Amino acid sequence: MKFAALTYLFLFLLPPHILAQDYSGYGGEVIPISVYGEDDRKDYFETSRAMQSFANSTVALFKGKDLRFNKSKSVYEITPVKLGEKFNLEAEQRFYNQPAISFCSGALVGDDLILTAGHCVRDDTVNSSMGVYCKDMKIVFGYAVKKKGEKFESFPMQEVFFCSKVLFHKYSRKNGDYAVIKLDRKASKHIPLAVNRRQNLRKGSKLFVIGYPSGLPVKIADNAQVRDIGEGTPFFKADLDTFRGNSGSPVFNAETFLIEGILSDGGKDYQYTIDTPEGARTIYDPRLPFAYNKGRVFVYEQDKGPGELVTKISVVENRLGVTRLEKAFEEMRRQKIDLRRELEELHLIEPNENFKVEPAIYHPPPEPRAPRVYEI
């Protein structure tokens, strides 16, 4: 049984196109968030093989008009716009030259199901001014900087999905902030993630988050922890380094690698100054950033600030089916197999283009480049 569990875990870490054939038969508004202490966001290629595998099962939500279909090339094209130019940031700010185009994040939790934040989606059955209507969005896998200098001009048609229906939708302080979207087809090249059905949050529990801050290509941010379990509420608080656009991001337990919640709300993203007769005045997250001096990321001390608000997975878990990955993790837990150690060992090898196993080669961090974004 241990061999079976580890075999599945290794398959999870293989590139998506290898898994596609085996897997085919298995049955806004944006809210500002922020950085705590050191900025722990990393690009896809800077992280371990294991983290990349989890990132492969996350999605970026785009407004439909921001992706144009090129029939002759079978791709969806984008028009480049840099993060720094969109938000009027100082040139030395991290990821300045990367694209900033998506508006929310999400996670694959079923063959054709995406879990995201309720405020990202405008449900036709609910009178809400928040989010984007199902018919007006596109859902994209693979929005990631996978090598140094990679440019984004288009996405392959196979990685772009439409929203077929909003199955479940909640957005309130009483009931949580989540939505489950049904895709127009199965995401056969990607593996649905696992949620924690035994949620027992503790202050200090280690976390990491995967999402698309400020509409950037996917970022993995770790070195975070639970600050407040939010007893009696559908939310908990954590010191995650997240931004607008991270809304809907899956928040993982760093020990179990299970989803503990959905990123919902947080502190300030960017700070700017404006010169007045009385002196410089600081402005946070203005709607018109170009009306002010160039801005920068707003940073709290690690244990200060409001904390990021995360919807507990327990409020939505009964609406989600059990995935293959969840079954594999459960079997490993039952056998008392150290999942963290297994993942750390497996990420030291990766298949090459001929599907042979070779030592991983690590590259220095990149200075990527960007697509286009529209005012949300």
Phi first, then psi: what are they for 291, rounded to 5°? -80, -5
Residues 205/208/209/210 CA torsion (nearest 10 deg): -150
Nearest C-alpha neighbor of 84 from the set 72, 68, 100, 71: 100
**What's the CA gap between 223 and 326, in Å, rounded?**
24
DSSP type of residue 213 = G
User: Which pLDDT value is given to residue 270?
Assistant: 93
User: Which pLDDT value is given to residue 226?
Assistant: 95
User: Which pLDDT value is given to residue 13?
Assistant: 58
Quote the tokens at residue 335.
Answer: 């056998």
User: Which pLDDT value is given to residue 320?
Assistant: 95
**What's the CA gap between 371 and 153, in Å, rounded?**
6
Rounded alpha-carbon distances, angstroms, from residue 288 to 9, 86, 111: 47, 10, 40
Please state the three-class secondary structure of the chain as a single string.
CHHHHHHHHHHHHCCHHHHHHHHCCCCCCCCCCCEECCCCEEEHHHCCHHHHHHHCCEEEEEEHHHCEEECCCCEEECCCCEHHHHHCECCCCCCCCCECCCCEEEEEEECCEEEECHHHEECCCCCCCCCEEHHHEEEECCCCCCCCCCCCCEEEHHHEEEEEEEEEEEEECCCEEEEEEEECCCCCCCCCCCECCCCCCCCCCEEEEEECHHHCCCEEEEEEEEEECCCCCCEEEECCCCCCCCCCCEEEECCCCCEEEEEEECCCCEEEEEEECCEEEEEECCCCHHHCCCEEECEECCCCCCCEEEEEHHHCHHHCCCCHHHHHHHHHHHCCCCHHHHHHHHCCEEECCCCCEEECCCCCCCCCCCCCCCCC
**What's the CA gap between 140 and 125, in Å, rounded?**
25
Q: Which amino acid is at 234?
A: P
The full set of domains in the chain, from first to last, is 2-359 (2.40.10.120)
**What's the CA gap between 30 and 194, in Å, rounded?**
26
DSSP type of residue 126 = S
**What's the CA gap between 5 and 10, in Å, rounded?**
9
**Containing H/E element for 290?**
none
| pTM beyond 0.95, yes or no | no
Quickly tell me which residue has 């991001």 as its tokens.
Answer: 249
In order along its 376 residues, the chain shows pLDDT tens digits of: 555 565 556 556 555 443 333 323 322 344 445 666 677 899 999 998 889 999 999 999 999 999 999 999 999 998 878 999 999 999 999 999 999 999 999 999 999 999 999 999 987 665 556 789 999 999 999 999 998 778 888 999 999 999 999 999 999 888 999 999 999 999 999 999 999 999 999 999 999 999 999 999 999 999 899 999 999 999 999 999 888 999 999 999 999 999 999 999 888 899 999 999 888 999 999 999 999 999 999 888 777 767 889 999 999 999 999 999 999 888 888 888 888 777 766 543 333 333 333 333 333 334 433 433 323 2
**What's the CA gap between 45 and 361, in Å, rounded?**
11
Q: Which amino acid is at 244?
A: R
User: Which pLDDT value is given to residue 362?
Assistant: 32
Quickly tell me which residue has 């994209």 as its tokens.
Answer: 140
CA 261, 263, 265, 271 dihedral sign is: positive
Phi first, then psi: what are they for 307, rounded to 5°? 80, 150
User: Which pLDDT value is given to residue 357?
Assistant: 30
User: 155-179 burial, b if ≥16 CB within 10 A, otherwise e?
Assistant: beebbbbebeebebbbbeeeebbbb
